[in-house]
Amino acid sequence: METIIKNKKQIPSFSTEQIFVNSDEKRYNEVYEQVDKSIEELHLNKKDSLHMKLLFEESIGMVKAITGDFTAMVWAEKYDGESWLRLVGKTNMDIDKKTDLMSVSSTGSNALAVGFMGKVRDFVETGLLSYDGVMKLQQKYSGYGMGISGSYLDTAVASNPSAFTGFMWTMDDYKESLKNGHGQPEVTACWEELEKSIVGSIAKDVVVGVEKDQIEMAFIMAT
């Protein structure tokens, strides 16, 4: 599968089969059986295998929580010194659904975006549903240091026009944006939230790319 998020240094030495994921909970026993098989095929040590399983679970949990008709393929790739968990998803959600969801909160932000991965999910939903609006903001502000949603005011968005026509967010950029706001109470809370998160403690970086109705994620783990 052609992906918009690239590993510029290497090509994978091994890729697992792609696993189809949607909101149908009846399939999840089958999905997790496929996950276990994929992890075995990577031939990681016990600790890295556990960490990869946790990343699979976090990514699949995010797919289950996303509003509307969202489907995804997840798989793992092995590189020299790294393992990547990849997710490619598409949605047919209506922007009105996101507006209705956000209106539940008196602040106008997504009250369900709790924790680091909850905020990543909110970033994904907002990026997919208001793509045109986000792109206009990127053109106006060159795409750097802009928050995508109310609950991601400190998120740094890195765009790479030469690679694709959408936009990207990385955990590394997010960390840098938090460092720049060091000492502010909101920033301190976000940093603590990141440190407590499973993904934040396991992954060396997380990359999110959105292009039209497609979302890509790469969870990068040192192995």
The predicted structure's pLDDT at residue 12 = 93
**Tell me, what's the pLDDT at 40?**
97
pTM: 0.78
Sign of CA dihedral 173, 58, 210, 206: positive
pLDDT at 35: 97
DSSP annotation string for the chain = ---SS--SS---SEEPPPEEE-S-GGGHHHHHHHHHHHHHHHT--HHHHHHHHHHHHHHHHHHHHSSSSEEEEEEEEEETTEEEEEEEEEE---HHHHHHHHHTSTTSS-TT--HHHHHHHHHHHHHHHTHHHHHHHHHHHTTSS--SSGGGTT--EE--TTT-SSEEEEHHHHHHHHHHTTT-HHHHHHHHHHHHSHHHHH-SEEEEEEETTEEEEEEEEE-
Q: In the prediction, which pLDDT does 57 show?
A: 93
How many angstroms separate the CA atoms of 64 and 86, rounded? 16
Q: How far apart are CA 111 and CA 101, in angstroms?
A: 8
Dump pLDDT digits (tens) for 97-128.
Answer: 555 544 544 444 444 456 788 777 776 776 66
Question: Which amino acid is located at 42 in the chain?
Answer: L
Dihedrals phi, psi of 21, to nearest 5 degrees:
-130, 135
Instruction: Supply the pLDDT for residue 27.
Output: 87
Would you state the structure tokens that stand for residue 34, as one six-digit string?
């496929």
Top-tier CATH class for 14-113+197-222:
alpha beta
Helix 28-42 × helix 46-65 angle, to 10°: 150
Rounded Cα distance, 117 and 66, in Å: 11
- Residue ranges of domains in the chain: 14-113+197-222, 116-185
CA distance 36 to 106: 42
Average pLDDT, the chain: 75
Q: Is the dihedral of CA 192, 183, 167, 95 positive or negative?
A: positive
pLDDT of residue 180: 75
Per-residue confidence of the chain (223 residues) as pLDDT tens digits? 677 788 888 899 999 999 999 878 888 899 999 999 999 999 999 999 999 999 999 999 888 877 667 789 999 999 999 999 999 988 765 556 555 544 544 444 444 456 788 777 776 776 666 655 455 444 443 333 333 332 222 233 334 434 445 667 788 888 887 777 777 777 788 888 888 899 999 999 988 887 767 788 999 999 9
